[in-house]
Amino acid sequence: MYVVFCFFVSLFSNFLFAKSFVHQNPTIINGNFGFVEGPVWDKKNKRFLFSDIPNNKIYALNPKTKKLSIYDENSGYANGLDFDKQRNLWSARHDRKLSYQNEGGKKIIVASLFNGKLLNSPNDLAIKSDGSIWFTDPPFGIQGYGPKKAKSEQGFNGVYRYKNGNLSLVTSELKIPNGIAFSLDESKLYVADSSNGWVYQFDIHGKKVTNKLKFVQVTGSKGSKPFVDGIAIDAHDNLFAATTGGVRIFNKKGQKLDFIKIKAKHVSNIAFGGSDNKLLLVTAFDKIYLYKML
């Protein structure tokens, strides 16, 4: 009986880890990009937006026609993007600012300082249902991936929360905070640390977080060191993580579900979209990979 039971456990485990999430032949979009990042689905206009950081632009991609257009010619070296309920497009920018652009095209910078000192390089963001903006602030922009190199004035790499003119520090515990996302019920905050490949999980209590836990350590293609960049949560609370050589997928218990292999110099971020939420867009160095999900 024990042997039979072990056989079925092993069979279930193999089935769990072998599950495929996407059709394996993506559409690949080339556009003379410098380094693409920060994708988001624009539900109203049925398109994806994404950043090209060194070229200081935000692009729009129509997933049906595969046509590209420029959304913003001067993005502030934007990285992470997201829409709020009022249809404002928020940008975490490598020129050391957090801003939003309304539907009329007006840009409003809401934060560039914390405790009287310049932010490092707002990198990725997630918007909570209460309208608060949570973003990571590693040093990438001041290390050469922005308008100019500079020394950090903060002296740490933080995770911040912004709402109604108030900017507060959520945590300074991570070495290189990068991707950021909420669980579906918004009780958990996930933050990727690119220094060690760990995605950390925090419990959310209003404006604060507690109970920092190591959720998953992300590895990519065989033989690669642990690394994680952008992260996203799907409609089933699964975590998608951009890593070396592809996208790793975990369930909410931290179990590995799938690895989408991508041949690219750097896989940076992911976003879900489409009218039925069955499209997966992956930003990968100088190309866009567009998958149909199963």
Q: Alpha carbon of 56 to those of 70, 76, 104: distances in Å?
A: 11, 6, 20
Burial of 253 (0-12, 13-18, 19+ CB in 10 A): exposed
258 is catalytic: no
195's tokens: 């220094």
* Burial call 207-230: b when 16+ CB within 10 Å, e when fewer: eebeeeeebbebbbeeeeebbbbb
Q: Alpha carbon of 98 to those of 6, 40, 150: distances in Å?
A: 53, 16, 18
| Rounded (5°) CA angle 244-248-251 | 155
178 is in an annotated binding site: yes
Helix H or strand E segment including 3: helix 2-18
Candidate list 72, 124, 137, 229, residue with the active-site label: 229
Q: What single letter denotes the amino acid at residue 79?
A: N
Q: Alpha carbon of 182 to those of 44, 114, 191, 279: distances in Å?
A: 22, 23, 9, 20
186 is in an annotated binding site: no
229 is in an annotated binding site: yes
Burial of 135 (0-12, 13-18, 19+ CB in 10 A): buried
DSSP secondary structure letters along 156-177:
S-EEEEEETTEEEEEE---SSE
14 is in an annotated binding site: no
Q: Give Cβ neighbours of residue 247 (< 8 Å, ≥ 6 apart).
A: 240, 241, 259, 260, 262, 267, 270, 282
User: Is 58:69 a contact under the CB 8 Å cutoff?
Assistant: no
User: Is 249:260 a contact under the CB 8 Å cutoff?
Assistant: yes
* Residues that constitute the known binding site for a divalent metal cation: 37, 178, 229
Q: Give the residue numbers annotated as catalytic, written as ranges.
A: 229
* Residues that constitute the known binding site for substrate: 123
* Residues that constitute the known binding site: 37, 123, 178, 229
